[in-house]
Amino acid sequence: MAKDPVRVLVTGAAGQIGYALVPMIARGVMLGPDQPVILHMLDIPPAAEALNGVKMELVDAAFPLLKGVVATTDAVEACTGVNVAVMVGGFPRKEGMERKDVMAKNVSIYKSQASALEQHAAPNCKVLVVANPANTNALILKEFAPSIPAKNITCLTRLDHNRALGQISERLGVQVSDVKNAIIWGNHSSTQYPDVNHATVKTPAGEKPVRELVADDAWLNGEFISTVQQRGAAIIKARKLSSALSAASSACDHIRDWVLGTPEGTFVSMGVYSDGSYNVPAGLIYSFPVTCKNGEWSIVQGEGGDISVAHL
């Protein structure tokens, strides 16, 4: 039986992350190779012509899974009936800007989009906020869309999580797919805490702790952490543009694991509404280690004290 199409909203779709993201969604990277999709793309009126150009390219690419495209500057039209919303649109961070500099400009954007999602999205719509400051924008969206369940509003820290896996993979000369269970705690910003104390690497002799294999605590406690924390700024310095390809890919990973589930024995990092776990105040949007099953995320509670967070 063919599956019914899933409607996926991408805001800021004419921007560089959007341009990297929509073909991934249309190709099945986000929701699976057998899941048809209808793309809803939203951007601001000055970007309408560019947005139409993206729509033309989506048609030209003849993606078999892509069953329709809505390209609009109207938030209500964009949000109507969507099952997944990826909020990429926001005031962009430029070289020399901290996330707090863009915060005020994003409040009004997220206020109006929250209202449109609350009133017009499909029931149980899953929301992922990518635009920085991501944790704050997710909290603004939650505050202005009180009828959307708190568990359905998340923010992207999977990019930081994947950056951590990438750094370990490069350091040890192993495949990144053999590294798992890094944790990003906290905020998607330079204040995050990348934690490899529970991370492992698959070796011919079985799974081994990252800390044991790296055997260099000074690097793991110093340069590794600062590299992951500052990677976004390093990419802006190198490209004169912020991370797009990696952000888009990580957004697909986040939604795919949330919808389809995490592999047994693997946890990932998601910015979610805190329930008070690890003494993080309830109600904050905070990055935790999570597992996902049946479309729901759960914070890993570290049974038997497996996960300790002395730094918090």
Q: Which residues make up each annotated binding site for substrate?
A: 93, 99, 132, 163
Distance in angstroms (rounded) separating the CA atoms of residues 283 and 83: 24
Distance in angstroms (rounded) separating the CA atoms of residues 127 and 145: 11
Q: Which residues contact 298 (CB under 8 A, 6 or more apart)?
A: 290, 291, 292
- Strand 6-11 and strand 37-42: the pairing is parallel
- Cβ burial 151-175 (10 Å sphere, 16+ → b, else e): ebbbbbbbbbbbbbbbbbbebbeee
| Gyration radius of the chain over CA positions | 19
CB-CB contact of 175 with 261 (8 Å): no
Q: H helices within 128-202, ranges in order? A: 134-144, 158-172
CB atoms within 10 A of CB 197: 17
40 is catalytic: no
What residues are designated binding site for NAD(+)? 12-18, 43, 106, 130-132
Distance in angstroms (rounded) separating the CA atoms of residues 121 and 80: 5
Catalytic residue among 40, 120, 161, 188: 188
Packing angle between helix 134-144 and helix 99-120, nearest 10 degrees?
A: 30
- Strand 183-185 and strand 193-195: the pairing is antiparallel
Letter for the amino acid at 296? E
Distance in angstroms (rounded) separating the CA atoms of residues 155 and 254: 9
- List the one residue out of 90, 186, 157, 83 whose CA is nearest residue 127: 83
Q: Which residues are catalytic?
A: 188
